[in-house]
Amino acid sequence: MFNRFILVVVFVPLAIILIALAVANRGSVALTLDPFHPGNPALTLNLPLFIFLFLALAVGMIVGSMATWVKQGRYRKLARQRGLEAENLRQAVSRAPAAPKGPALPKPTN
């Protein structure tokens, strides 16, 4: 139910905005990769503007995701170490001899 709510409230308006952006920016633009000879056809791409916008958005999301993943690496390492330590402690407890059945402390005398 919550997933459907997120789909309707977030992704449907986002899709409408992206479609409107694509329709409004469908004019062809030139992206030249050679700054010294801008007229070089071998290094010039002529595509609609919305494709460049969507590519920039996708590259930004990928780079941001990778930066987040790298920055959180120390926390993943710490979680792995603590998981191994917890597993070692579980195994040590399961191999330990059983505690004696009697009371652990002597009874107090009055």
Supply the angle between the helices 73-95 and 49-71 in degrees, to the nearest 10.
Answer: 40
- What's the domain count of the chain? 1
CA angle centred on 90, ends 86 and 95, rounded to 5°: 150
**Does residue 60 lie within any of the structural domains?**
yes
Domain extent at residue 52: 21-95
**Does residue 13 lie within any of the structural domains?**
no
**Does residue 9 lie within any of the structural domains?**
no
Q: In a structure prediction context, what are the per-residue pLDDT tens digits for the chain, which is 110 residues long?
A: 778 888 888 888 888 998 898 888 889 998 888 888 887 888 888 999 989 989 999 999 999 999 999 999 999 999 999 999 999 999 998 887 766 666 667 777 77
Asked whether 16 and 29 are in contact (CB, 8 A), the reply is no
